[in-house]
């Protein structure tokens, strides 16, 4: 598609889904949308957009495609080992009941992983785990606790697999006890307000898809949402390039602690509002 068609497509997608395509890396998103629209076999971008506006089902399919719902339990095992052996024990020493947000949780694998770990570390306490995503179909699977594939659970320790899952012909399912410990809600990180007072925010393998300006502003909003000394847990390939400017210090690879703001920090959020309104 040409520049004019791409601009038109972005505006129509925003109109029907509230998803701002300009928040993502331009070249990457343009390739994905070009390939997707081509596969639909509509003769023009305008024809595709006219159909999209009339079809909630096709809108959901498009969001499913753009959401990049790739996740698994205990993804990046070394990082989850750090979470289990160092980060969570330290936070539990400060506060026996933790408030945790799993942002862009996809189909629930990461919040359920955290819940399993907490169940092992402090089964006597009720922790609050909020898990959010923009994709309603992913949230439906998360709320149902499955089904998950053998690939999804390939890194789950055998004891956890026996203790926290059941299995049938459809796949693996989270046990009811664990399902009740997580609150799943729809949330668009690019435009919805953020709750505050979190001990830990988990947002993994998502921010890498956003443009630099949006990434920086999301870090700033996460900073505001965390308690003093709260922890931001990112994906294995994600790095905060200027952590001190965002109000963070690296604690371990992929783990950042909220710090007092430096003199050159900019947390007013004006740049993000310009992108997303």
b/e per residue 168-206 (b: at least 16 CB within 10 A): eeeebbbeeebbebbebeebebbbeebeeebbbbbbbbb
Can you point out the beta strands (E) in the chain? 99-102, 128-133, 165-168, 171-174, 182-186, 198-202, 226-233, 248-252, 255-258
* Most trustworthy range by pLDDT among 65-79, 148-162, 251-265: 148-162
Q: What distance in Å separates the CA atoms of residue 261 and residue 243, rounded to the nearest whole number?
A: 10
The three-point CA angle 135-224-80 to 5° equals 60
178, 115 contact by CB (below 8 A): yes
pLDDT, residue 273, reads 35
Where exactly are the structural domains of the chain? 3-67, 77-258
> What's the rounded mean pLDDT across residues 109-130?
95
Q: Which structure tokens are listed for 7? A: 């601009």
109, 161 contact by CB (below 8 A): no
Give me the architecture of the 77-258 domain, per CATH: 3-Layer(aba) Sandwich (3.40)
Name which residue leads in pLDDT, 226 or 3.
226
The dihedral region occupied by 153, where left means phi > 0, alpha psi between -120 and 50, and beta the remainder, is alpha
243, 236 contact by CB (below 8 A): no
> What's the rounded mean pLDDT across residues 5-29?
82
pLDDT of 120-172, one tens digit each? 999 988 999 999 998 888 899 999 999 999 999 999 999 999 999 999 999 99
Q: Which structure tokens are listed for 44? A: 């023009």
- The mean pLDDT of the chain is 88
Q: In the chain, helix, strand, coil percent, each to 5?
A: 50, 15, 35
Residues 6+ apart with CB under 8 A from 10: 21, 22
pLDDT of 196-218, one tens digit each? 999 999 999 888 888 888 889 89
Q: Which structure tokens are listed for 88? A: 């969570």
Residues 6+ apart with CB under 8 A from 274: none
pLDDT, residue 258, reads 96
- pLDDT confidence band for 227 (50 / 70 / 90): very high
> What 3-state DSSP class applies to 234?
coil
Residue 63: phi and psi, rounded to 5, are: -65, -40
The three-point CA angle 64-214-7 to 5° equals 65
Report which DSSP code applies to 34: H
- What's this model's pTM, rounded to 2 decimal places? 0.79
């Amino acid at each position: 598609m040409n520049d004019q068609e791409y601009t038109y497509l972005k505006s129509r997608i925003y109109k029907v889904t509230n998803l701002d395509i300009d928040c993502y890396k331009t070249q990457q998103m343009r390739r994905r949308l070009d390939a997707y629209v081509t596969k639909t076999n509509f003769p023009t971008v305008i024809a595709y957009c006219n159909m999209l506006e009339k079809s909630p089902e096709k809108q959901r399919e498009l969001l499913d495609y753009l959401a990049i719902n790739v996740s698994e339990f205990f993804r990046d095992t070394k990082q989850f080992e750090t979470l289990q052996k160092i980060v969570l024990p330290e936070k539990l020493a400060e506060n026996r009941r933790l408030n945790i947000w799993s942002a862009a949780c996809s189909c629930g694998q990461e919040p359920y992983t955290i819940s399993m770990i907490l169940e092992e570390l402090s089964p006597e306490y009720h922790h609050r785990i909020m898990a959010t995503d923009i994709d309603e179909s992913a949230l439906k699977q998360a709320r149902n606790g499955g089904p998950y594939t053998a690939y999804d659970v390939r890194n789950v320790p055998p004891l956890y697999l026996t203790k926290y899952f059941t299995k049938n012909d459809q796949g693996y399912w989270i046990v009811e006890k664990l399902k009740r410990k997580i609150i799943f809600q729809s949330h668009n990180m690019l435009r919805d307000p953020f709750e505050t007072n979190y001990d830990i925010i988990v947002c993994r393998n998502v921010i890498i898809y956003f443009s630099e300006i949006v990434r920086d502003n999301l870090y700033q909003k996460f900073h505001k949402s965390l308690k003093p000394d709260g922890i931001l847990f990112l994906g294995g390939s994600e790095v905060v390039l200027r952590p001190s400017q965002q109000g963070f210090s690296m604690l371990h690879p992929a783990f950042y602690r909220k710090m007092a703001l430096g003199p050159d920090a900019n947390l007013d959020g004006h740049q993000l509002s310009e992108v997303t309104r």
